[in-house]
Structure 1
Amino acid sequence: MSEIGLRERKKQRMYQTVSDTAIRLFLEKGFDAVSVAEVAAAAEISKPTLFRYFPAKEDLVLYRIADHEQEAARVVAEGPGSPLEALRRHFLDGLERCDPVTGLNDDPRVLAFHSLLYGTPALVARVYAYQQRSEAALAEALGGDLDARLAAGQIIAVLRILANENWRRIASGESVAEVREDAVAAAERAFGWLERGLPRLAPS
């Protein structure tokens, strides 16, 4: 392995370790009750070193979902099929795999992370910015014009609402088995609406 490859792997391990340490502390004590200095001490690094990896406290949490920011754009770019066909298939595959991004996952650790993310005002604000970047990336993948931006806004909203509804039901005590059939039906229905409203992006 090259020295550059080794350095990159060490850097990624550092990101993961520090983020995991921070999330553990936030879940134990609450996001606002834990200082950045406390996270740095628990991760056995200096505070300046932590800030080199994570410029803001919120980034310690958002790192866990950062790799999904470009997901919709990547699915459209890689295909196959029309944009809506590819996105529909990807979301349904995610439901089948119980991908946490779809909200259809009842692992206690996933539920705890969702509660942290959506129960902390500072993190909710950052999630909104994350969704805006995801929408912008999808719009670019769809062509970048006004029509593409309008379509991207609708698609990202649909994905968010579907996932939040699944998470809401599971957080209230229902199991994946109880929610799955409705989740698939809701996704099929929502993508049907998108295809009728956005025929340019639908299967021909």
Structure 2
Amino acid sequence: MSTWLQELELIGEHVKLVPLSSEHRNALVEASSDGELSTLWFTQVPSEQTIDTYLEVAFKDKSNGTALPFVVLDKDTNQLLGCTRFCNAVTKNKRVEIGYTWYRKSVQRTIVNTECKYLLLSHAFENLKAIAVEFRTHWHNHASRNAIARLGAKQDGVLRNFSVEPDGAYRDTVVFSIINNEWPSVKKSLAFKLNQTE
């Protein structure tokens, strides 16, 4: 098993990312109901019906060393705001993806996502010494594609018919990345955005 991804907490000014646990089950379902996120066909946000499988997959990937799942909490109130994780880690190549990210509707397009990505990217490039961090999203998830581009990630391409969805439909996946020599500039941009919203 890989020891590259070590369990930890990441703490910012407004949010904290803590390791996902089974104790977060009910709070995750409650958070996803804010905006009925699980009904969006192009995302995989858990509902009461799918939460147990969602957790099982997250814990399995964590145990085999390819993922590190977090819940996103409001730093002051401890309200659960959403979920994110390092995933599809390839230790040998020092590459990792940030994915499975979703937030309750009431905090979307706020400082929450910017600070979460700042924390995750800082850890990936400065502590894990990653050479590239990927982001992947559904072709039809335009909000996610725009949010990833706003971070400073560049689009690598589109993986057509990348996967088969539960209903049999084919998914085209858009791949973005930030590479290590781009991180100083991306970090400066994210820090500026965070300061603008203080």
Specify if TM > 0.5.
no
State TM-score, norm by structure 2. 0.28
Judging by fraction of residues, say which structure has more helix. Answer: 1
Judging by fraction of residues, say which structure has more strand. Answer: 2
Q: Which has the bigger relative contact order, CA under 8 A and spacing at least 6?
A: 1
